[in-house]
């Protein structure tokens, strides 16, 4: 009897793991949405991710969280503003979907202001991080298997408390392959590079290359470009960030990194 209990314990634990439906009843829409997250976070494929998010809202036009991702990734300011207005008008409730949507609307505001070249008040950023930390923390407790919610939580920890705190949060998760997504491996490289521990940053980069089967995924040259940038090797960093943008011209983070590289190059000329 005891043996049977231990044999079936993993199955029982798996059956009890809560599943977040992200606010859609369409399995196909949800699948497209989750594919978009994998593409943008784990592979660095922003163009394909946008296609997946747009497919999600085509399959379910009332899929609020998918609309939020379309708004966040869109390069069209008019479309972004329209999506924001539409989502903002929806009556909030106590659902997990509403809690997540509140975070994404705050993100959408910041993305739009930055892309329009508008000044962002520190209070606005602080308020955004406060809501994000509260809501992502609660979501992670209720849905521990949702790796992309976890990924955004780590980014928030980084934004509020810095690179060391974000690394500590990652390490607390142990070595579970299910949770140790390519995004987290790449992000570890970014964090170690920020802390100027380039040996550990490179170890994470090598682990990322080993984990992914295709070296052409944009996340690989982007991660390496960031490492070179933090080391002050600007020519190598620029070459790799250009390689990233050649693979995916919509890679927003690579565009920002390229500007940082160019700004530093200009400063070195003076």
234-260 tens-digit pLDDT: 999 999 999 999 999 999 999 999 999
The answer for residues whose C-beta is within 8 angstroms of residue 7's C-beta and 6 or more apart is none
13-39 tens-digit pLDDT: 444 557 889 999 999 999 999 999 999
Listed residue (31, 98, 16, 20) closest to 65, CA to CA = 98
Listed residue (92, 94, 160) closest to 132, CA to CA = 160
Amino acid 11: pLDDT = 43
Listed residue (260, 264, 266, 252) closest to 115, CA to CA = 252
Place of tokens 């739009």: 112
Q: What is the pTM of this model?
A: 0.88
CA atoms within 13 A on the CB side of 162: 3
146-190 tens-digit pLDDT: 999 999 999 999 999 999 999 999 988 765 555 579 999 999 999
Domain 26-85: CATH class, spelled out: mainly alpha
Cβ atoms 23, 64 nearer than 8 A: yes
């Amino acid at each position: 009897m005891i043996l049977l209990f231990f044999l079936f314990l993993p199955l029982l634990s798996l059956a009890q793991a809560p599943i977040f439906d992200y606010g859609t009843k369409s399995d196909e829409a949800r699948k497209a949405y989750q594919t978009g997250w994998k593409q943008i976070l784990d592979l660095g494929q922003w163009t394909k991710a946008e296609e997946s998010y747009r497919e999600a809202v085509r399959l379910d036009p009332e899929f609020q969280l998918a609309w939020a991702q379309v708004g966040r990734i869109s390069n069209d300011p008019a479309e972004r503003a329209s999506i924001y207005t539409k989502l903002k008008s929806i009556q909030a409730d106590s659902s997990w979907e509403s809690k997540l949507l509140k975070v994404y609307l705050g993100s959408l505001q910041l993305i739009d202001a930055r892309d329009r070249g508008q000044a962002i008040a520190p209070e606005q950023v602080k308020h955004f991080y406060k809501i994000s930390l509260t809501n992502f923390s609660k979501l992670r407790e209720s849905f521990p298997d949702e790796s992309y919610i976890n990924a955004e939580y780590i980014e928030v920890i980084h934004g509020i408390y810095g690179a060391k705190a974000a690394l500590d949060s990652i390490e607390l998760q142990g070595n579970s392959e299910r949770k140790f997504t390519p995004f987290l491996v790449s992000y570890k490289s970014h964090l170690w590079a920020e802390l100027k521990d380039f040996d550990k940053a490179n170890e994470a980069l090598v682990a990322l290359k080993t984990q992914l089967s295709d070296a052409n995924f944009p996340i690989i040259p982007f991660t390496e470009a960031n490492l070179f940038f933090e080391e002050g090797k600007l020519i190598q960093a620029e070459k790799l960030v250009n390689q990233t943008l050649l693979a995916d011209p919509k890679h927003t983070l690579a565009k920002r990194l390229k500007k940082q590289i160019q700004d530093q190059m200009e400063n070195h000329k003076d």
